[in-house]
């Protein structure tokens, strides 16, 4: 496991876990690493956090000091940064964002020239430089890099988004909750250009209100608004707009699992599906799989993380994949989850089928789910314990085709995540508690975390 960079970048409390010095050094490394390439250029984007300017300036100073030109997009979504990187001939991209986290956190994500998450060997080299075990000489004289304002990169991204939606949205009443984040200056323009009648929520970022009681992590605000104002639907994004959750005309949630079903079924009915599969993580709801089985669409399950979803999709050429939380990847158009694009693809289905969102999701029964985090003495030993395994097998057999259980290790703590899905909440609770009791009986349990 990397020391600084996790699966979604180097993230932490601004100027405590992730400091301005870290940003400068990352810039120094990237400028040196790519500066040896002829005409190499690096592009930087950010969300709306108050610390974003600080990191942007530090990264730019480091990159140019090492001899590479840097292009500044300023506020853009993470998928927008990925699009600009791969379409604009950049050596790499750097996104400054902590996604759905509060404003006082921030992060640095590295994107390769193809718009994908950076290769591990480059991440390892960055960390070696941060730890002082690798050198990167300063550039001198005319070898120094320059800073270039690049707002037209954002314009190109917006135009590309519009092209991915092959239909007009005239007269459709849509509420957009932009989480006071990256989507705020972009999503309303795109939807207006396509003719939608939009109401805008949380589009006034001031540096400390990103994700604050708004956006996809607080979907209840949008649900209430859609219902009260009789909107046709609503879309909520997170801070860097790589997620999208939807709300139907009744104010009911349409999560990432339902989006996968709606879009995959539509493509199959339109003859655009071929032999593709839907790619999910192991956390997708049991009801999604039952619904996909019913319409003859296959699926794959990966570890939790959109990184793993994308790797599976790219390897197999699958069209759609994503997570329950709203990261949805459309491989035809993007290399990462894109919240605005997801909303536009849902709109295409809505317009072309002439069905309301409540109708489009009606065939999926989302099963109740209970998940408890359990601190144990040893994660692997607990999973391999014969009594724990026996209990899991008994619970699974009892659920049969009407539910499932899942035990998953935390990547950072001595914690197991025990999850059950069943026809009722009480059944879920009973299944989870039975497995936790087995852990306690064999002396592995420390506590059930709240």
Q: Among this protein's residues, is 410 annotated catalytic?
A: no
**Residue 167 DSSP symbol:** S
Tokens 């209990």 belong to: 391
Q: Residue 343 and residue 435: Cα distance in Å, rounded? A: 39
Q: Residue 301 and residue 315: Cα distance in Å, rounded? A: 14
Burial 379-415 (b: 16+ CB within 10 A, else e): beebbebeebeebbeebeeebeeebbbbbbeeeeeeb
| CB 302 within 8 Å of CB 308 | yes
E strands, 226-330, are 233-237, 244-247, 253-254, 278-281, 299-302, 320-322, 328-330
Write down the catalytic residue from 51, 97, 99, 276. 99
CA distances from 433 to 16, 115, 318, 369 (A): 38, 43, 37, 13
> How far is residue 403 CA from its own chain's centroid?
26
| CB 238 within 8 Å of CB 181 | yes
Q: Which residues contact 357 (CB under 8 A, 6 or more apart)?
A: 233, 246, 247, 248, 249, 254, 262, 346, 350
Give the bridge partners for 405, in sequence order: 420
φ and ψ of 191, to 5 deg: -70, -35
Which of 129, 121, 56 lies closest to 93, judged by CA?
A: 56
| Active-site residue list | 99
């Amino acid at each position: 496991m990397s020391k600084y960079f996790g699966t979604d970048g180097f993230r932490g409390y601004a100027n405590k876990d992730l400091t301005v010095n870290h940003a400068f050094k990352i810039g120094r490394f990237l400028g040196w690493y790519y500066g040896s390439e002829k005409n190499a250029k690096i592009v930087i984007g950010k969300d709306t956090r108050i610390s974003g300017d600080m990191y942007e300036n530090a990264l730019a100073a480091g990159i140019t000091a090492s001899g590479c030109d840097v292009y500044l997009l300023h506020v853009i979504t993470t998928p927008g940064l990925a699009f600009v990187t791969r379409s604009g001939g950049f050596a790499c991209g750097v996104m400054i964002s902590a996604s759905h986290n509060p404003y006082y956190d921030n992060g640095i994500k590295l994107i390769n020239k193809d718009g994908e998450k950076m290769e591990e060997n480059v991440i390892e080299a960055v960390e070696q430089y941060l730890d002082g075990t690798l050198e990167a000489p300063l550039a001198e004289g005319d070898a120094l890099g320059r800073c270039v304002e690049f707002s037209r990169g954002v314009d190109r991204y917006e135009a590309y988004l519009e092209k991915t939606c092959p239909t007009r949205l005239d007269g459709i009443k849509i509420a957009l909750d932009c989480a006071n984040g990256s989507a705020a200056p972009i999503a309303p323009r795109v939807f207006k250009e396509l003719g939608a009648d939009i109401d805008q929520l949380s589009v006034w970022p001031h540096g400390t209100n990103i994700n604050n009681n708004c956006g996809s992590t607080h979907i209840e605000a949008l649900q209430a608004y859609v219902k009260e104002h009789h909107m046709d639907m609503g879309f909520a994004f997170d801070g860097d707009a790589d997620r999208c959750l939807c709300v139907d005309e009744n104010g009911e949630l349409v999560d990432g699992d339902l989006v996968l079903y709606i879009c995959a079924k539509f493509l199959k009915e339109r003859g655009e599906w071929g032999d593709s599969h839907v790619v999910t993580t192991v956390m997708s709801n049991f009801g999604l799989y039952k619904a996909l089985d019913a319409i003859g669409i296959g699926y794959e399950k990966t570890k939790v993380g959109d990184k793993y979803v994308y790797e599976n999709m790219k390897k197999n050429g699958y069209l759609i994949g994503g997570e329950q939380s709203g990261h949805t990847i459309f491989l035809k158009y993007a290399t990462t989850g894109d919240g605005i694009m997801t909303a536009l693809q849902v709109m295409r289905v809505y317009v072309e089928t002439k069905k309301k969102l409540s109708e489009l999701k009606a065939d999926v029964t989302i099963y109740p789910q209970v998940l408890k985090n359990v601190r144990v003495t040893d994660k692997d030993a607990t999973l391999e314990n014969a009594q724990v395994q026996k209990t899991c097998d008994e619970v699974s057999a009892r659920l049969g085709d009407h539910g499932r259980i899942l035990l998953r290790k935390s990547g950072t703590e001595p914690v197991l995540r025990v999850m059950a899905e069943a026809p009722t909440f009480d059944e879920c609770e009973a299944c989870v508690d039975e497995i936790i009791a087995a852990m306690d009986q064999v002396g592995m349990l420390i506590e059930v975390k709240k």
